[in-house]
Chain A
């Protein structure tokens, strides 16, 4: 169990006036001062504004007002979410120093709920990567073992929670960028159904895949943050109508009668045996709690990686065309506008970003569009169909989140394909637009955290969170017994 306070207890004590938001903040800033030099979870710690926000929360409590469900809760924000007047870099040189003129909707909603933003967290440049090693500002280190990566791309947000810098944080997940670092850092991470959380103010990577979600120590905290930041936003044309499903009230429902399928294709080749063993232990725990557990085949998931590495770069190449040195970000001067744009982009983007922009440009170009991009879009349909078939017989599915525990720095940087293989278990959910979350479930042979992934159909958040809550309790019981 985490040695750190959870968001629900912090908010409860602040709302009752038992603890001040200022005192809570100083405790977290103290831990940041102590361990951040070693971890590098943040691109920027906003201690000044955070102190002002905490003081405002305390003033509200003193005046008899309710600051909201996240009263005085420190939160860390992935540095690809816009924060008005506060630098937002996407861990890229091209945006270094940029101060957005508006807040992302999710940032506004956290603030309106009484949360205290403590800083902007590190990521792989423009969220492209699985280890934060692609950050232009240096990697984040895994708090459990600083010789290992925290995962990525939301590695800073995962590490910030794991290190006790904030009880909850926000990340974004395009192909696993919340769930994989959550697994590697031993925290809960949620990728909600596409359209449930606003993308307004999330710097776009793959617009049909991107979704914002929380990191937390507990399933209940993750549920609360989803409910606070989620729900319809008229500013996002892909936002679904209605509120985020009420998941918090179902966390004690248990899993009796729930039908759980272990995805056969995600348990074999490429998955470390100790990780697979933890997934089987999780399945046993669910069966012990009254769920029906069986193996189920979802054939299309084996094609996820191929489809994703055509679709995501295609969308990225289009989305990143806006970084041209004209309206925001940095410029490298040259004699003509065309030369200025090339010089700016060449100096501003790192290798992984360049690689994906070129790959995307290629698969969208005349003569290749149908063969590559068109084929990949059809595979998305197959993915949706195969999941739909599975969800006729099962309420949720189970798999590893990441095929291995946290790996060493440099282990996978030489060959991009090796790094991409990290995402085999998480990518299918984004292609389908479904929901999935990672729940810590013990450790691998190396003593590092293992995450179990709970997958659910679109808007299947309630059974997903019920399952996660039972797994969390089972992991605690197991840990306590050990």
Chain B
């Protein structure tokens, strides 16, 4: 199916997934992911050229609700779930540059 997953591959996906790994964790996870992906080699050997992919079991498409006003979630209750909220908004640390 593909070449064995490397520590570089795992370091890359960890970064994409916003996870920091210690060197030991990187080694351990790489070995474990390799084992799982090796098990999946059995399906790589199947002839699936004529088979359609199935992303979901229910054939419903474009399900929309009626465009009628309803009762939304309470804003204060929603903001109360956030680690930090301010002036009716979620507050995060600086995205670019230094804090003002």
Contact = CB atoms under 8 A, between A and B. Distances in A.
Interface of A: 98-102, 194-195, 207-208, 234, 237-238, 240, 302-303, 305-307, 309-310, 317, 321, 324-331, 333-343, 345-346, 349, 354-355, 357-359, 361-362, 365, 368, 371-372, 374-382, 384, 415-417, 420, 432-434, 458
B2 A368 contact: yes
B83 A378 contact: no
Contacts of A333: 93
Nearest to A333: B93
Given A326-B82, A329-B83, A377 B54 contact: yes
Interface string B67-100: 0000001100110111110000010111100010
A327 B58 contact: no
B40 A372 contact: yes
Best-buried of A207, A371, A434 by chain B (most CB within 10 Å): A371
Contacts, number: 177
Contacts of B19: 342, 345-346, 349, 354, 357-358
A335 B93 contact: yes
A235 B90 CA distance: 25
A376 B2 contact: no
A378 B51 contact: yes
A169 B73 CA distance: 27
Nearest to B84: A331
Best-buried of B5, B37, B39, B73 by chain A (most CB within 10 Å): B37
B2 to A, nearest CB: 6
B53 interface: yes
Given A349-B19, A365-B16, A433-B57, A355 B94 contact: no
A73 B88 CA distance: 40
26 contacts: A99-B80, A102-B73, A195-B60, A207-B56, A240-B58, A306-B39, A306-B40, A334-B93, A335-B93, A335-B99, A337-B92, A340-B92, A340-B93, A345-B17, A345-B18, A354-B19, A358-B10, A362-B13, A362-B37, A368-B2, A372-B2, A379-B43, A381-B51, A382-B48, A416-B35, A433-B58
A449 B1 CA distance: 40
A384 B54 contact: yes
